[in-house]
Structure 1
Amino acid sequence: MGTHVSDDQINAYSKPPVDNRTAEEKAIDAWLPITSSRNAKWWYSAFHNVTAMVGAGVLSLPYAMSQLGWGPGVAVMVISWIITLYTLWQMVEMHEMVPGKRFDRYHELGQHAFGEKLGLWIVVPQQLVVEVGVDIVYMVTGGKSLKKFHDLVKCQDKCKDIKLTYFIMIFASVHFVLSHLPNFNSISGVSLAAAVMSLSYSTIAWGASVDKGVKSDVQYGYRSSTTAGTVFGFFGALGDVAFAYAGHNVVLEIQATIPSTPEKPSKIPMWRGVIVAYIVVALCYFPVAFIGFWMFGNSVDDNILITLNKPVWLIAMANMFVVVHVIGSYQIYAMPVFDMIETVLVKKLRLKPTWYLRFISRNTYVAFTMFVGMTFPFFGGLLGFFGGFAFAPTTYFLPCIMWLAIYKPRKFSLSWFSNWICIILGVLLMVIAPIGGLRQIIVQAKTYSFYS
């Protein structure tokens, strides 16, 4: 791809890596969640990436299509799939670009590309916004899906309406337990179940849509009757799509769990897992987005399972699958945050790495995401706002900037052009998508009462 690797780098691969860490540093790294276990197989990479990628965002894709229209919608979906696969490949390649060293965390790669301090300031705030933002949105999604399941199963005739707030609290209670699993490999069972669920509820979403058939009065024009509404809706929908491709924020942390030797670097099994994951992503995203929009047109809800009410048992089951899936997704995105929190507590504040330090810090984080999710459950608007504001940089163009800074491909080469195209498209997405998402939040907030 027009990249250059020096002779020194090639020769260094034959030398065993030198470990200059002190005994205390080794003990801390063995305790921190990202570096404590390195015995994952390639299929761990596959289902961790599926769980990270195919989240709640897939259910909003028909709604995003209704804001974008057929032509732009199909183009945005396909181009996003290609660009994000390319940038994910770059991150997998850069994980061990320095012989004998692994960039186990996104910010470590950023520090190598931009410098110790600047790298931290560029990467950490964006990564935190993405990971904490996803966890807050998943709190809302889990609560909404639990409520939908309850209403479908228990309230076929009539029963007392229970606040969404309570369902979010029920969903959060699971994480007060699961958050104490120490590292990525320990949540592999939860992640596998979540990956299976994502494929299951995506299939139910488009399968039930096909079964219902095209609505008699279906319309494919833009949802809004005003020009301003159409433009802002278009912007917000771009953020929804960006949100759907968010796995890059945890990819280096996932790769860190795979063993690596000079003969078999971790990028080989990791890339195999990524390819499998992206095939699953395509099987989930494209049918749900295109068939959902084809059947319901611009009357589809921001969560397609809300649009589908029958058959009751199938839609209830799909909502329960969503709950199981976002339980796993929440943990995948929370693990790097736990790692950051615990690193600061142990390395900066010099606190002892104990079980009760982990117990307090992780429970505090879960309680925080639960509280924010209960306070601001604007599902569609949150997707659009976070999707543009933070997902576009970390997914669409930050890997490209780091690639250009580190490898310095020849000007006007294929690699140079590819990266600059991704950067330009990503920056446009980052600028315009949050505008639409923020407007949607403001519109929904007019009719919203807190803790409803």
Structure 2
Amino acid sequence: MEVQSSQSSSAQRDDESQRPHQSDDDDDQGTSSFLRSCFNGVNILLGVGIVSVPYALSEGGWLCLMILVLVAFSCFYTGLLIQKCMDSSPRTNTTYPDIAERAFGKRGRWLISTFMYLELYLVAVEFLILEGDNLEKLFPYANVHLGKLRIGPKQAFVLLAALVVLPTTWLRNLRLLAYVSAGGVLASLVLVCCTFWIGAMEGVGFHERGEVWGSLSGVMRALSLFSFCYSGHPVFPELRNSMRDRTQFSKVLIVSFAISTLSYGSMAILGNLMYGHHLQSQLTLNLPTNKTTSKIAIYTTLANPITKYAIVVAPIATAIEDTIQALSRRRRRCNNNNAAVTMLTTRTCLVISTVIVALTVPLFGPLMAFVGAFLNVGLSFLFPCACYLKINAGGRRFGMEFCVIVMISVLGSLIAVVGTYISVRDIIAGKR
């Protein structure tokens, strides 16, 4: 999702992780109103994927707008399946891993957790690549020389971004950053408005026509990138638990998916009418840098990863730290000083590792397509269907619901197999 897609979903995920767990009592309710829950839902779904949907549409052709709606509907429906899984046993199914464990035991929890942590890790890598790409566009001659070693502008800005976010990862309480990162919704809307203004008023125009239908590879890239955009399912249980009236969760999903799809579709259409087949993997890389509106759009895009990076990596770091502390307790070597050192070391090493991956695979589009096809398809398409069919015997009876679940599973399997192959091929070939 965002990250995000990937990417906004991660902010909400950490924000909810900072709150006390809900009581097992069925009568316990959260405090979020319907309006606030809708805002949180949009923040989960609307992330950095918005800069790549124009590229996805240019690769797949105009008819891929229908595919965008199909992916949105599929992910909306599997969100409802997660709700039904939670309703079947509200005392135990409070998180996504809880649902997986009830359906498939400890192996199910381990598999879901692995996919979630790997998704978060690669989204953090995507943040650094995005920073490097866009800052290089603004400052293309910012080379760094260390003796005889020359560091190019993109590599230098990736390192600079990592140095900026590193201190934020050392914070234990990330609530402030979580609230700041919730501005991702506003940032996305600002980006859409700036793009329209640039096209309509700054001389770029809407003259490109593009293709009606792209190649098979292009369509699969579009499917993979669209799947990245709707990657909020691991956070949906926490979103539902936070609601004052949980019976309105389905309405929250309707509003959240409708607003997100409208935003993604608008950005895709604007970008293609402006740049057509010249689109790069990030729309911001096509915008003219000599315009104030373009700079607003780019700087707004750059601000999100800075505030969200720590929130994205926090669940991974916490899981590693808990494992290390558990091993230390067995050896009777655990104390407060060791815990602090473990925390600093773990999080610093985690940042360094994402920098290494970002510098080794500096390909924003193909890496996002890989996350969408391999990880988010599993979390948003396949696992919800499998868990629901396992938990609810009624769902296995032939009928409309069963047919929809089978169709979503087939679509997800197609994206997972073909989309993953094409994205890996693009990464190996160095396709940008």
TM-score in terms of structure 2 length: 0.80
Counterpart among 309, 314, 337 of residue 316 in structure 2: 337
Residue matched to 2:181: 191
Counterpart among 199, 205, 209 of residue 195 in structure 2: 205
Counterpart among 104, 113, 132 of residue 124 in structure 1: 113
Residue matched to 1:416: 402
> CA distance change for structure 1 residues 253 and 110 in 2, over 3 Å: closer, same or farther?
same
Deviation at 1:394, TM superposition (A): 0.7
- Equivalent positions of 1:360-439 (< 5 A) are 360-410=345-395, 411-439=397-425
Deviation at 1:303, TM superposition (A): 1.2
1:91-127 alpha-carbon deviations (Å, 9 max, x no partner): 24434642433533x32221111112x2134312322
**Pairwise CA RMSD:** 3.2
1:124-156 alpha-carbon deviations (Å, 9 max, x no partner): 232222111111111111222233344599xxx
Counterpart AA for 1:252: P
1:318 and 2:297 aligned: yes
- Tell me the distance in 2 between the aligned counterparts of 1:271 and 1:219: 36
Deviation at 1:45, TM superposition (A): 4.7
1:57-79 alpha-carbon deviations (Å, 9 max, x no partner): 211111111111112x1121011
Structure 2 unaligned blocks of 5 or more? 1-14, 22-29, 143-149
Counterpart among 291, 308, 311 of residue 287 in structure 2: 308
Q: Decide whether the 8 Å contact of 2:69 with 2:261 is kept in 1.
A: no
Residue matched to 2:270: 291
- Tell me the distance in 2 between the aligned counterparts of 1:280 and 1:162: 39
State the SS of the aligned residue for 1:41: coil
Counterpart AA for 2:283: I
> CA distance change for structure 1 residues 92 and 136 in 2, over 3 Å: closer, same or farther?
farther
Residue matched to 2:55: 63
- Tell me the distance in 1 between the aligned counterparts of 2:177 and 2:39: 11
> CA distance change for structure 1 residues 415 and 346 in 2, over 3 Å: closer, same or farther?
farther
> CA distance change for structure 1 residues 268 and 210 in 2, over 3 Å: closer, same or farther?
farther
- Tell me the distance in 2 between the aligned counterparts of 1:346 and 1:253: 26
Q: Decide whether the 8 Å contact of 2:209 with 2:272 is kept in 1.
A: no
Residue matched to 1:53: 45
- Tell me the distance in 1 between the aligned counterparts of 2:281 and 2:138: 17
Counterpart among 37, 41, 47 of residue 20 in structure 2: 37
Counterpart AA for 1:176: L
> CA distance change for structure 1 residues 222 and 423 in 2, over 3 Å: closer, same or farther?
closer
> CA distance change for structure 1 residues 92 and 170 in 2, over 3 Å: closer, same or farther?
farther
1:164-207 alpha-carbon deviations (Å, 9 max, x no partner): 11111222233212224435644332222222212211332344
> CA distance change for structure 1 residues 315 and 366 in 2, over 3 Å: closer, same or farther?
same
Residue matched to 2:6: none
Deviation at 1:333, TM superposition (A): 3.1
State the SS of the aligned residue for 1:409: helix
Counterpart AA for 1:109: I
Q: Decide whether the 8 Å contact of 1:180 with 1:359 is kept in 2.
A: yes
Structure 1 unaligned blocks of 5 or more? 1-31, 154-159, 224-229
Residue matched to 1:244: 229
How many equivalent residue pairs?
394
> CA distance change for structure 1 residues 332 and 367 in 2, over 3 Å: closer, same or farther?
same
Deviation at 1:161, TM superposition (A): 9.6
> CA distance change for structure 1 residues 86 and 186 in 2, over 3 Å: closer, same or farther?
farther
TM-score in terms of structure 1 length: 0.77
Counterpart AA for 1:283: L
Deviation at 1:301, TM superposition (A): 1.6
1:139 and 2:124 aligned: no
Counterpart among 56, 67, 76 of residue 76 in structure 1: 67
- Tell me the distance in 2 between the aligned counterparts of 1:46 and 1:327: 24
Residue matched to 1:94: 85
Counterpart AA for 1:62: P
Higher mean displacement: 133-142 or 244-253: 244-253
Counterpart among 349, 357, 361 of residue 342 in structure 2: 357
Q: Decide whether the 8 Å contact of 2:224 with 2:419 is kept in 1.
A: yes
- Tell me the distance in 2 between the aligned counterparts of 1:36 and 1:347: 23
- Tell me the distance in 2 between the aligned counterparts of 1:356 and 1:44: 38
Counterpart AA for 2:399: S
Residue matched to 1:168: 158
- Tell me the distance in 2 between the aligned counterparts of 1:188 and 1:268: 26
